[in-house]
Structure 1
Amino acid sequence: MTSTSRQVWLPAQFTSYAGLPEGLRYARWDGGSVFPSDPAEVEFYVPPLVQDLDTISRPLDRMTSLTVVQALSSGVDGLCAELRRLPGNVTLCNAKGVHARSTAELALALILASLRGIPEFTHAQDLGLWKPEVFPSLYGRSVLIVGYGALGSALEDLLVPFGCAVTRVARTDRLSPRGPVHAMSHLRGLITGADVVVLATELTPATHHLINADLLARLQDGALLVNMARGAVVDTAALLEEVRGGRIRAALDVTDPEPLPAGHPLWETPGVLITPHVGAFTPAMWPRLEQLIRRQLERFARDEELDNVVAC
């Protein structure tokens, strides 16, 4: 490698430089320590594996040679906003598809736990109470998936044994291998018939507070809303109004605000199950991310078009 080779920053978890393309210089950064090299020389930046956008963004103003950011998440709304304020043209790529199966698994777990009353039984266990109750089953229920991409498709795979009637919604009408996908413009009519609504869409100006007071009011009594997308896809104040009275339930892996602060009413509202944005995080996650990074670096070294490019 020569001193003129292009600089790449990788996350601290990256296991080995072995087998990476030649002609590039590599350094690891954990997001907390001093910068491993001059940020001004970095052309390809893979941010550290953290959820804190401030940490990810800390070196961006100094990365004057930056051409590519390879995010480790599927959702990149916050990072998009950071890159838009930078001069020059920076290509942003996400990790679309990498986290789909693990996130779908948690979505299914949240659906089953919420429908079968696991939070109520856990609370009774904490109190030492034997308190039998009857809760609904997932079998044969109608499930509306809003945002039918890799995550939505992976979730439908997991729902097959339960005999659910699945309705799919995405930006535009199309046909998937499992059946029709309806445009988002049909959501208002489709949401009324759903027992379970799963949000798996990206956060954009068009989907900010997509699930508002009007749509929440159209949910049938006893419906379950599951948010695996981004917290701001749901109007939190409107959601609280609906769940407080017990008319609907909610299971949230993401919230708005996030992290959810202590004392926020969502913590104490019956019928709300919360996990702290952990859908993607399993031991199998990092090997899949490393495979993606290696593929992207090979393309970058050959000046080929990258995968998973996001329009900011």
Structure 2
Amino acid sequence: MADRVLVPWRQNRDNAPPGMRVSVFDGEGDPPGDLSDVGFYVVPYGRNQRVDLITQMPELSVVQVLTAGYEKVRGVLPEGTTLCNGRGLHDASTAEHTVGLMLAAQRDLPRWAVDQRAHRWDPYYTRSLADSRVLIVGYGSIGQAIEERLLPFETEVVRVARRARPEDGVHGIDNLHGLLPGADIVVLVAPHTPETEGLIGEEELAKLPDGALVVNVGRGPLLDTAALLAEKGRVRAALDVTDPEPLPRDHPLWDAPGVYVTPHVAGGAQAFYPRARRFVDAQLRRWAEAAPLRNIVR
């Protein structure tokens, strides 16, 4: 059995159980030597995830990604390899960024920033987050964290998940069309699957009231970009993820009316990194002790 571990941070090497062979690779440059003896691979977080290296690890037992989504890994994961995701690690960071996007859009903060640079004092009344009806589409751990932060703002939160859970007040996705006409804000935080691709498209956008806001912190393909552009500002959007991504410099989404874009940074704030390092430390201890790993998705 291959017993070498490849981790992204030195802390994980320093905190590893005694006797564990650990190499550090953060995704930059060349990996550390021959990878054929790697049994546990923690995929680096960020732009250089290097999932391609999995093909160089014939004895791989476990792949640990640090994101909730794992679509980049599915195509290269060998049969029989355990896959664990980063469920829970991004909850706080993503939730606070989501609320920040809502506040920026509702209170027109980008407009005030432009006015400040122009030395222009031009007050007017804006929309509010308070008393807004917010649909959270994808009521997992991140969706719950978003709800926890929204309720003190005196919003009405409507929970939507793949399947209805009446005992928890959760609507099924099959009821989405009936919920959209009454929504002020729709938050997309579902994973990208064949079933969720284009979840909000031309038909769904048409059901939203004028001035409604779509916030996407899930995956870009959940929202049909062409359909959003065709709305010409009638429906607004605050997007941390886009389709395509990265967004090309000449893409019309940059200048679309009522659209705010951040470059897929919701989950990677300061709070994420110490939590992720502690999580990897704990996973390595479990692996060394042959204890059940957390967040197994396959």
TM-score interval (norm. to shorter): over 0.9
| Number of equivalences | 298
Q: CA deviation at 1:5?
A: 6.8
The AA in structure 2 aligned to 1:204 is T
Contact 1:108 1:158 in 2 (8 A): yes
Q: Spell out, residue by residue over 1:128-176, the C-alpha distance to the aligned partner (whole angstroms, 9 max, x if none).
A: 3222222111111100000001111111111111211110001111257
Deviation of the 1:65 alpha carbon: 0.8
Aligned with residue 25 of structure 1, among 16, 21, 26: 21
Q: Which moved more, 1:102-111 or 1:133-142?
A: 133-142
Deviates most, 278-287 or 187-196: 278-287
Deviation at 1:66, TM superposition (A): 0.8
SS at structure 1 position matched to 2:211: coil
Confirm or deny that 1:206 pairs with 2:195: yes
- Report if aligned partners of 1:21, 1:298 keep a CA contact under 8 Å in 2: yes
Residue 40 of structure 2 is matched in structure 1 by 44
Structure 1: distance between partners of 2:2 and 2:80: 20
Instruction: Please tell me whether residue 113 in structure 1 is matched to residue 100 in structure 2.
Output: no
Deviation larger for 296-305 or 206-215: 296-305
Q: Distance in 2 between matches of 1:48 and 1:89?
A: 21
Residues 80 and 92 in structure 1, CA contact (< 8 A), matched pair in contact too? no
SS at match of 2:283: helix
Partner Cα distance (1:154, 1:10) in 2: 28
Alignment match of 1:66 (pick from 57, 60, 65): 60
Instruction: Give the alignment of 1:248-259 within 5 angstroms.
Output: 248-259=235-246
Give the structure 2 partner of residue 310 of structure 1: 297
| RMSD, matched Cα | 1.7
Q: How big is each residue's C-alpha offset from its partner over 1:56-89, in whole Å with a ceiling of 9 and x where there is no partner?
A: 1231211111111100111111222332xx4x32
Q: Aligned equivalents of 1:14 and 1:69: distance in 2?
A: 18
Residues 23-70 of structure 1: CA distance to partner in whole angstroms, max 9, x if unpaired? 421000122222213211111000122234xx5123121111111110
- Counterpart Cα distance in 2 of 1:226 and 1:82: 31
Q: SS at 2:76's partner residue? A: helix
Equivalent residues of 2:89, 2:275 under 8 A apart: yes
CA distance in 2, matches of 1:251, 1:214: 19
Match of 1:230 in 2: 219
Whole-angstrom CA distance in 2 between matches of 1:30 and 1:291? 16
- CA contact 2:13–2:23 (8 Å) conserved in 1: no
- Which secondary structure does the structure 2 equivalent of 1:50 belong to? coil
Any unmatched runs of 5+ in structure 1?
Answer: none
Residues in 1 aligned to 2:10 and 2:155: alpha-carbon distance in whole angstroms: 40
* Alpha-carbon distance in structure 2 between the residues aligned to 1:130 and 1:224: 26
The corresponding residue for 2:287 is: 300
Q: Is the 8 A contact 1:5 1:23 kept in 2?
A: no
Residues 169-209 of structure 1, C-alpha deviation per residue, up to 9 Å, x if partnerless? 01111257xx4011111111111111010011111111111
- Matched to 2:7, the amino acid is L
Give the one of 229, 254, 262 matched to 1:240: 229
Gaps of 5+ in 2: none
**TM-score when normalising by structure 2:** 0.95
Structure 1 residue 121 displacement after superposition:
1.7
How many angstroms apart in 2 are the aligned matches of 1:214 and 1:102? Answer: 31
Secondary structure of the 1:144 match is: strand
Identity %: 44
Contact conserved, 1:210 with 1:234, CA < 8 A, in 2?
A: yes
Q: Alpha carbons of 1:300 and 1:175: their partners in 2 closer, same or farther (altered >3 Å)?
A: farther
CA distance in 2, matches of 1:269, 1:239: 9
Q: Write the distance in 2 (CA, Å) between the matches of 1:36 and 1:150.
A: 35
Structure 1 segment 1-312 matched on structure 2, within 5 A: 6-11=3-8, 13-52=9-48, 55-83=49-77, 86=78, 88-174=79-165, 179-242=168-231, 244=232, 246-311=233-298
Q: Cα distance 1:5–1:68, how it changes in 2: closer, same or farther (>3 A)?
A: closer
Change (3 A) 1:175 1:98: farther
Tell me by how many angstroms 1:260 deviates.
0.7
Find the residue that maps to 2:21 and give its secondary structure. strand
